[in-house]
Amino acid sequence: MIKLPKPSIVINFKVYEEAEGAKALNITKMCAAVSKDSGVAIAVCPPAPELGIIARSIKIPVLAQNADPFPAGASTGWMTPSVIKGAGAFGTLINHTEHKSTDDTISKAIKMCGELNLLTIVCADSVEAAVRIAKFRPDIIAVEPPELIGGNVSVTDADPYIVKNTVTSVKKESRDISVLCGAGIKTGKDVKAALELGADGVLLASGIIRADDPKGALLDLIQYL
Ligand code: G3P
């Protein structure tokens, strides 16, 4: 099992315009500085084309947004575990609700990433999905109700039970798997609520990437940690 220090803040840049090209490196530099000053663990998931340059130049954990379980060799356009490793990344997201995979693909990707010592954060859109995915033994499961993603209402307010129940159910399966929650998380109060519900951290995107002042938003986010 690979671990992220807890509580973990994982920021998915998605393919937002605000994180295209050199902007992704600048946001990551800001995250690294905030992490260093505060001592809070912050990991980032930049867009694929920026993965290598960021992972090789910044010290905080850098993750891919997806992993396709193919071996190195003659296949084109896939984000393979060995390409992710070669880029210098720390790990990868898998099965984000905006990039869904089958159970077979998820389990193969977890296995291949594990063999390369890459951290796996697998997204689940329900408690049931989280329990199913837990059997594949990822390092982390991130529960995110799809309908709340990108909105202004935090999962911790709109659906605290999904967070609590995912934590309880996943920990029953394996105490080694960490649980994050995500969707609509934007403030320090949301992060505090997530931890009180038993989560080990949060996975978020728009609250930082689309904020008018990303650094101010990040400082607000970690204020109670
Ligand atoms: O990957 C994180 C994400 O799906 C949550 O997005 O914008 O609601 O923080 P957001």
Model confidence at 3: pLDDT above 90 = no
Q: Averaged over 218-222, what is the pLDDT?
A: 98
> Given a cut of 90, is residue 2 above it in pLDDT?
no
**Burial bucket for residue 150 (CB in 10 Å: 0-12, 13-18, 19+):** middle
CA 133 to centroid of ligand 1, rounded, Å:
19
The percent of residues above 70 in pLDDT, for the chain, comes to 100
**What tens digit of pLDDT does each residue of 25-72 get?**
999 999 999 999 999 999 999 999 999 999 999 999 999 999 999 999
pLDDT of residue 214: 98
Model confidence at 181: pLDDT above 90: yes
Ligand 1 atom closest to the Cα of residue 98 is 4
How high does pLDDT run on average in the chain? Answer: 97
pLDDT digits (tens, 9 = 90+) for 129-150: 999 999 999 999 999 999 999 9
- Cα of 220 to ligand 1 centre, how many Å? 17
Alpha-carbon gap, residue 143 to 155, rounded angstroms: 9
Among the residue ranges 2-11, 107-116, 172-181, the one predicted with the least confidence is 2-11
| Residues within 6 Å of ligand 1 by CB | 12, 96, 144, 149-150, 182-185, 203-207
| DSSP string across the chain | -----SSEEEEE-TT-GGGSTHHHHHHHHHHHHHHHHH--EEEEE--GGGHHHHHHH--S-BEES------SSS--S---HHHHHHTT-SEEEES-TTS---HHHHHHHHHHHHHTT-EEEEEESSHHHHHHHHTT--SEEEE--GGGTTSSS-HHHH-HHHHHHHHHHHHHH-TTSEEEEESS--SHHHHHHHHHTT-SEEEESHHHHT-SSHHHHHHHHTTT-
Residues marked as catalytic? 96, 144
> pLDDT tier at 190 (50, 70, 90 boundaries)?
very high
96 C-alpha vs ligand 1 centroid, how far in Å?
Answer: 10
pLDDT for 22 beyond 90: yes
Give the mutation target among 11, 13, 14 for probing the ligand 1 site: most ligand atoms within 8 A of CB.
14
Separation of 73 CA from ligand 1 center, angstroms? 33
Which residue from 148, 185, 208, 221 has its CB within 8 A of the most atoms of ligand 1, so it is best to mutate? Answer: 185
Q: Quick check: 87 pLDDT over 90? A: yes
Pairing of strands 201-204, 41-45: unpaired
